Amino acid sequence: MPSQPRSPVETTLLLGAIADDFTGATDVANNLARQGMRVVQVIGVPSPAFDPGLVDAVVVALKSRSIAAADAVSQSLQALAWLRGRGCQQVVFKYCSTFDSTDAGNIGPVADALLRALDHDFALVCPAFPENRRTVYKGYLFAGDVLLNESGMENHPLNPMRDANLLRVLARQTDGRVGLVPFETVRQGVSVTRAALDRLRADGYRYAVADVLEDAHLHVLAEAVAEHPLVTGGSGIALGLPENFRRAGRLGAAADAADLGSFAGPAAVLSGSCSRATLGQVAYMRERCPAFALDALSLAEGQDQVAEALQFAREYVGDGPVLIYASADPATVKRAQDALGVAEAGSLIESALAAISRGLVEQGVRRLVVAGGETSGAVVSALGVNALRIGRQIDPGVPWTATTGSDSVALALKSGNFGGEDFFLRAFQVL
Ligand SMILES: Nc1ncnc2c1ncn2[C@@H]1O[C@H](COP(=O)(O)OP(=O)(O)OP(=O)(O)O)[C@@H](O)[C@H]1O
Ligand SMILES: O=C(O)[C@@H](O)C(=O)CO
């Protein structure tokens, strides 16, 4: 990383991030903003002419987590080319803190391709985010108090995570060797950790999974990879990276997140996530607010649930936020998937929620919470959003954002597993 002091007119970006889903993108953007970077999140790869304004970091939000690996690779490489065109010297490949992927990818194939394009041969693998109770010990990923494969993620509709050992999971997705930087190393600080990373690289490893139990370990790792062109991980590692630029004199003191201005008017929650956390949040809101449930099998039979949901919203939306959800327990999801196929069931729901979001905004909704990464991707695409400003954090990993341009809509894109039980209702108090 160049250590020239940053001139006030410098337009090169310090850091770029490529996120494999839209909630993940706001998550990493939020953590960079909390550490004092001016961040903009762009939806998809921007056009060559796109001007992000005077910012320190751009997060490119892709919807590449659950598509064919070749497509994920090609989109990620386009994002990389755009970021490098803007002078970024370090790029974060942001995937889920629960390492959402299958044996077909896409974490391994995308990381491999990014390394090749950067003409480099080694990268950190750090999904940990202790603030959201994602920790890694001996290479095993924990979500809360349990191993990943006991956390509910084993029932994920698109990428069931049935193995908590990240070395094994990643090894099935890459031909590169995957090693471990154990907790005993990380806790000894930056120089010991950097030396361990260098040793793994010299021994021919392509990836180093890192143990992380608390934020201090993220900061150690972030400093140890200050010179790495590619860093891969969840949003947690982004908590430590801005400090590298500050230390090099290229980033000013931390400032408050952008004030998004005031948003009033109709409010709605759209939920397509079936994670445990979201199911709890849906149950909480359903007891307190008008709610409308979508069902994949009814949609497949041709029932016009989009029109029904919009009619429901017209009736109730003036009285406070309304909830429209497809979120369902694992048995219901399985019934739909057995009948329709995993991809078809997911895409029916995503298309319906996307069409509903468009209708809601046409009906005047200006504050929208969306739960689920794939769901958020579908909604944001349907709304034709190009870029998002990052605002105040609601819960760790989830900030309010606002669409750029006129007639701005406030959007909170909530990762499936994030947020407290009352998240949906509390979100509107934070805005
Ligand atoms: N009732 C249902 N039956 C079948 N599939 C469903 C149902 N409800 C939601 N889905 C699908 O499940 C998938 C959930 O993925 P999504 O990324 O939105 O949530 P998540 O994985 O919990 O969130 P994140 O990616 O942020 O962790 C979507 O494709 C959605 O359409
Ligand atoms: O890292 C996470 O857990 C989230 O940002 C996410 O990617 C969920 O889709």
> How wide is the angle at C-alpha 115 spanned by C-alphas 109 and 116, nearest 5°?
90
Ligand 1 pocket member 282 (CB < 6 A): no
Distance CA 393, CA 27 (A): 9
Claim to verify: residue 286 and residue 408 sit in the same structural domain = yes
With a CB cutoff of 8 Å and minimum separation 6, the contacts of 87 are: 11, 12, 13
- Indicate which CATH number applies to the domain containing 93: 3.40.50.10840
Atom 8 of ligand 2 has which residue's CA nearest to it?
Answer: 415
Claim to verify: residue 166 and residue 99 sit in the same structural domain = yes
**Does 316 fall in a domain?**
yes
The ligand placed nearest to the CA atom of residue 395 is 2
Report whether pLDDT(279) > 60: yes
Claim to verify: residue 167 and residue 66 sit in the same structural domain = yes
Distance CA 297, CA 147 (A): 32
Report whether pLDDT(426) > 60: yes
| Whole-number pLDDT of residue 224 | 98
**Does 75 fall in a domain?**
yes
**Does 1 fall in a domain?**
no
Specify the amino acid at residue 382: A
Average pLDDT over residues 404-413: 92
Stated length of the chain: 431
Residue 157 CA to ligand 1 centre (angstroms): 6
Report whether pLDDT(253) > 90: no
Claim to verify: residue 287 and residue 194 sit in the same structural domain = no
Residue 98 CA to ligand 2 centre (angstroms): 7
Distance CA 3, CA 323 (A): 49
Domain boundary among 247, 279, 308: 247
Question: Which ranges of 59-164 does DSSP label H, i.e. alpha helix?
Answer: 69-85, 107-117
Is residue 16 within 8 A of residue 104, CB to CB? The reply is: no
Claim to verify: residue 157 and residue 296 sit in the same structural domain = no
**Does 259 fall in a domain?**
no
Ligand 1 pocket member 152 (CB < 6 A): no
- Find the residues whose C-beta lies inside 6 A of ligand 2: 21, 23-24, 27, 96-98, 234-235, 373, 397, 415-416
Claim to verify: residue 197 and residue 306 sit in the same structural domain = no
Claim to verify: residue 72 and residue 200 sit in the same structural domain = yes
Specify the amino acid at residue 126: C
CA 98 to chain centre: 11
Specify the amino acid at residue 192: V
Report whether pLDDT(254) > 80: no
- DSSP-based three-state secondary structure for 182: coil
**Does 254 fall in a domain?**
no
Ligand 1 pocket member 397 (CB < 6 A): no
**Does 3 fall in a domain?**
no
> How wide is the angle at C-alpha 170 spanned by C-alphas 28 and 381, nearest 5°?
40
Claim to verify: residue 295 and residue 232 sit in the same structural domain = no
**Does 302 fall in a domain?**
yes
The pTM is what?
Answer: 0.90
Average pLDDT over residues 1-10: 42
The ligand placed nearest to the CA atom of residue 378 is 1
- DSSP-based three-state secondary structure for 65: coil
> What pLDDT digit, counting tens, does each position of 367-386 carry?
999 999 999 999 999 999 99
**pLDDT tier at 167, thresholds 50, 70, 90:** very high
Report whether pLDDT(270) > 90: yes
Claim to verify: residue 422 and residue 290 sit in the same structural domain = yes
Residue 8 CA to ligand 1 centre (angstroms): 43
Report the nearest atom of ligand 1 relative to the CA of 353.
31
Claim to verify: residue 328 and residue 222 sit in the same structural domain = no
Rg (CA), the chain: 21
Report the nearest atom of ligand 1 relative to the CA of 378.
18
Average pLDDT over residues 110-133: 98
| Whole-number pLDDT of residue 3 | 42
**pLDDT tier at 296, thresholds 50, 70, 90:** very high
Distance CA 211, CA 165 (A): 11
Question: Which ranges of 174-325 does DSSP label H, i.e. alpha helix?
Answer: 183-186, 190-202, 215-224, 241-247, 276-286, 296-300, 305-316
Residue 301 CA to ligand 1 centre (angstroms): 20
How many structural domains is the chain composed of? 2
**Does 118 fall in a domain?**
yes
Claim to verify: residue 223 and residue 330 sit in the same structural domain = no
- DSSP-based three-state secondary structure for 206: strand
Domain boundary among 187, 217, 247: 247
Ligand 1, from 349, 370, 411, 417: best to mutate by most atoms within 8 Å of Cβ? 349
Domain span at residue 153?
A: 8-247
Distance CA 120, CA 230 (A): 8
> What pLDDT digit, counting tens, does each position of 22-56 carry?
999 999 999 999 998 989 999 999 999 898 888 99
> What pLDDT digit, counting tens, does each position of 136-146 carry?
999 999 999 99
Report the nearest atom of ligand 1 relative to the CA of 159.
21
Ligand 1 pocket member 234 (CB < 6 A): no
Claim to verify: residue 214 and residue 289 sit in the same structural domain = no
